[in-house]
Amino acid sequence: MITDLLNPWIRDLVPYSSARSEFSGNAEILLDANESWDGGNDGINRYPDPFARELRKKMETVLGIPYAMSAIGNGSDEVIDMLIRMFCAPGKDSVMVERPTYGTYSVFAATSNVSVIDVPLKGDLTLDEELMVDTIKEKKPKIVFICSPNNPTGRVYPLSVIERIAEENEGITAVDEAYCDFAEGFQSASSLIERNPRVVVLRTFSKAFGKAGARLGILISSPEIQKVFMKAKPPYNVSRPAEMEGLKALADYDSAMARCRETILRRKAFSSFLETLPYVSEVFPSEANFVLIKVSDAAALYSYLLARGIVVRNRSSDPLLANTIRITIGSEKEMETLKEALLGWK
Ligand code: PMP
């Protein structure tokens, strides 16, 4: 039972009841929420919908995410934070992550005083399935985070591997699919939820949809977990302007997908270009909107590019990623400038 996995204080929480959720029907005079009476023409004087219903309905039609299985966070970062607060007891429970991966799983765990078990990837930067399963059995983490395509490696993990890990894991398996739209033939872990409701999926409007500034993250989960998320999250976590940005992105879904296809083509061309550079010893295969490379001297290359006004990410701090740089795929013009700079190094 999912409810057995929840922190008891979350399970038994009496949620904040917002003014507007206490009445149903139509009303013309809203004097219930201590808002300003003057909002100009855009209605921004009113609090936003706590449940982002308009956006979630649109997500059901455009993205095929069932309404009862979706929730919106202030970025997927908030979803990560909330999952930890919902399921992990401070000072007692742990989460498990692959290493290297996206950094905020560990940071949010730390802010909740939840310990982090990290399981190194294999040398080729794929998941060490056996080590993960053995570690899950031994340490019983409350949440296992799996990022696919992984940041910073760009690797997609086979759905069968994720499915097995999620089955062996008695806790929650949270699959972060932030970059899924850049992966060709991607199979989402959301298809696992029906059979295994301990699986939850994270998506975001920040990457393929180009709305990082709006802060819109998506939780896809069993309706049971979705309901708990709705009652435990901050009441007005998604602003109305943000929700509008999400609606705009979905209204223009085709151009977002066209932009993804363009990004994929550019990633492939850029990866081939990188292969020709003498100081690049490895171009890791990526299915995201970035490429990870191994170079002769990452710190020196980083500084060289920075001096030319180009910022990339030096990922060398992880022992598995010595001398690696992660480069986001930018516009055609940006990539041309970058290529010229790369040709001029050493
Ligand atoms: N997950 C991954 C794997 C990411 O790389 C990022 C951002 N770089 C996020 C989540 C955060 O996304 P959001 O902007 O929705 O908070």
Ligand 1 pocket test: pick from 84, 101, 104, 237 the residue with the most ligand atoms within 8 Å of its Cβ: 104
- Closest atom of ligand 1 relative to the 212 alpha carbon: 14
Task: Tell me how far the alpha carbon of residue 97 lies from the centroid of ligand 1, in angstroms.
Answer: 15
Q: For 218-270, how does the pLDDT look when each residue is reduced to its tens digit (9 = 90+)?
A: 999 999 999 999 999 999 999 999 999 999 999 999 999 999 999 999 999 99
Together in a domain, 80 and 229: yes
Q: Is the CB of 148 under 6 A from ligand 1?
A: no
What sections of 41-153 are H helices per DSSP?
A: 53-63, 75-87, 104-111, 129-139
pLDDT range class, residue 26, cuts 50, 70, 90: confident
pLDDT tens string 167-194: 999 999 999 999 999 999 999 999 999 9
Overall average pLDDT of the 147-163 stretch = 98
pLDDT at 11: 95
Share of the chain above pLDDT 90, in %: 93
Residues 194, 285: one domain? no
Q: How far apart are CA 264 and CA 315, in angstroms?
A: 22
pLDDT tens-place string over residues 314-343 = 999 999 999 999 999 999 999 999 999 999
- How many angstroms separate the alpha carbon of residue 77 from the centre of ligand 1? 6
Task: Report DSSP state, residue 40.
Answer: T
How far does residue 35's CA lie from ligand 1's centre (Å)? 33
How many structural domains is the chain composed of?
2
Asked whether the beta carbons of 211 and 236 are under 8 A apart, the reply is no
Q: Tell me the torsion sign for CA atoms 191, 181, 284, 306.
A: negative
103 in Cβ contact with 152 (< 8 Å): no
Same domain, 149 and 225: yes
Q: What DSSP designation does 213 have?
A: G
CATH number, position 222:
3.40.640.10
- Is 151 near ligand 1, meaning CB less than 6 Å away? yes
What was the pLDDT predicted at 93? 98
pLDDT per position as a tens digit, 82-107: 999 999 999 999 999 999 999 999 99
- From 198, 217, 251, the end of a domain falls on 251
Which residue in this structure is represented by tokens 């994270």?
202
Mark whether 180 and 296 lie in a shared domain.
no
- Choosing from 230, 251, 272, the residue where a domain stops is 251
Give 19 Cα–ligand 1 centroid separation in angstroms. Answer: 32
**Selection from 308, 262, 320 nearest residue 289 by Cα:** 262
pLDDT of residue 21: 77
Give residue 1's pLDDT: 83
* CATH code where residue 293 lies: 3.90.1150.10
